[in-house]
Amino acid sequence: MAEFYPILRGSALAKGGAEEVGNKAWNLMRMAQAGLPVPPAFVLPTAWCQRTDSAGAPQIKCATF
């Protein structure tokens, strides 16, 4: 798993597919690979929401609305 994935023309697709980066990012990556215009961006893998520090506390907090 990469630390992040760029969404740019010519960038590699995430090996884990939509399960690794989410459906929206996966589709944007596929569009960029097809040569369609997409805004340059990056995405964090979904595994980031499961990361914890040595005490077991989340390293990042996922926003909920």
Range of the domain at 26: 5-50
Supply the pTM of this predicted model: 0.73
Reduced 3-state DSSP string for the chain:
CCCCEEECCCCCCCCCCHHHHCHHHHHHHHHHHCCCCCCCEEECCHHHHHCECCCCCECCCCCCC
Within a domain: residue 41? yes
User: In a structure prediction context, what are the per-residue pLDDT tens digits for the chain, which is 65 residues long?
Assistant: 678 999 998 899 999 999 999 999 999 999 999 999 999 999 988 887 776 666 766 666 665 55
Within a domain: residue 64? no
Within a domain: residue 56? no
Within a domain: residue 61? no
Q: How many structural domains comprise the chain?
A: 1
